[in-house]
Amino acid sequence: MSKLAGKPQSRHKTRRSLSPTLIRNHMGNHSTEQHFLLLGFSDWPSLQQILFVLILLCYLLTLAGNSALVLLAVRDPRLHTPMYYFLCHLALVDAGFTTSVVPPLLVNLQGPPLWLPRGGCMAQLYASLALGSTECVLLAVMALDRAAAVCHPLRYPALASPRLCSALAGASWLGGLTNSAAQTALLAARPLCAPHRLDHFICELPALLQLACGGARENVERQMFAARVVILLVPSTVILASYGAVGRAVWAMRSGGGRRKAVGTCGSHLTAVCLFYGSAIYTYLQPTHSYNQGRGKFVSLFYTVVTPALNPLIYTLRNKEVKGAARRLLGSLGRGRTRQ
């Protein structure tokens, strides 16, 4: 383990220091529990300090931006609408999602490759998969909400009742937690072949599946792939259908102002959908044997770190209601200090 204490200086040295012999020796010191070696970005030592700074900035932006969004939506009565209710849930999901990934990644970037016990690896897999799956469903629910607002503006208050909104948000969380529990349980029940080394910065499902061994491996992989198809493609279909209806409604509008308002209302959400689903589909809907861990970790970095940081900006930069709520909040804080 002392060989791992130093920071790798080159790709060649990193590969030599993480030889199979060293891995087996380390595993021997943990005979009662399997451990996984996460290489992170140790193959790119020149990038590690740059990535540390960028990822830390993205993480702080994610926490600050999403917290501010939730605070504004809760405090300002004008934002007590279905759209901002779902946006609050999305902000909470994004903050939790990136928190399940970034802290150990920052530790890894500042030190040696990270060893995780099997239980810790499965816990991280469950948390990240649950929150990512919840976001998949929640984005589809938000698309339905936007379609109802644009296509049926007069009936929208009745369609988007508080009770229905609560049920849809709860279904998003339940769907994500259930999907994650099923996939994590299927993987945890399978033996994993040595060496337990992942060329990744998190316990990503496709990377772990490449370690699975045993007679029923192909059957388990098919079951898990079917679950991923459901959690990704069903919400994608709902989103496409919703925005198809929005497109038809916008095309039929005679008022230019109405068209601009509808496009502005849906444009932010559609941008967030494209960013998240593009990288998630690439990662999870390809065959396990063709998954490239080295390339996959950069794609995962995008949807686990970058997208959650961008979402608050996407939803607020062109949003007059959120900007107005921020000005009112800052104004009330300023008046409160003046009175003191």
Q: pTM above 0.75?
A: yes
Per-residue model confidence as pLDDT tens digits over 111-126: 777 888 888 889 999 9
Look at residue 235 and tell me whether its pLDDT is greater than 50: yes
**In the chain, % of residues over pLDDT 70:** 83
Per-residue model confidence as pLDDT tens digits over 33-68: 578 888 888 888 888 899 999 999 999 999 999 999
Look at residue 141 and tell me whether its pLDDT is greater than 70: yes
Q: 46-50: long-range contacts at Cβ-Cβ below 8 A with a sequence spacing of 24 or more?
A: 48/109, 48/110, 49/109
Per-residue model confidence as pLDDT tens digits over 145-184: 989 988 888 899 888 999 999 999 999 999 999 999 999 9
Is residue 59 within 8 Å of 306, Cβ to Cβ? no
Instruction: Give the mean model confidence (pLDDT) for residues 61-77.
Output: 91
Instruction: Give the mean model confidence (pLDDT) for residues 129-150.
Output: 92
Domains and CATH numbers, the chain: 46-191+202-339 (1.20.1070.10)
- Asked if omega into 195 is within 30° of 0 (cis), the reply is yes
pLDDT given at position 165:
94
Query: Which tops the pLDDT comparison, 92 or 326?
Result: 92
Look at residue 333 and tell me whether its pLDDT is greater than 80: no
pLDDT given at position 133:
94
**What burial letters (b/e) apply to 240-279, b meaning 16+ CB within 10 Å?**
eebbebbeebbeeeeeeeeeeebeeebebbbebbebbbeb
Coil, strand, or helix at residue 38? Answer: strand
Query: Which tops the pLDDT comparison, 71 or 44?
Result: 71
Per-residue model confidence as pLDDT tens digits over 192-224: 776 788 888 888 888 888 887 766 567 777 888
pLDDT given at position 323:
79
Look at residue 1 and tell me whether its pLDDT is greater than 80: no
pLDDT given at position 55:
95
Amino acid letter, residue 159: L
pLDDT given at position 335:
64
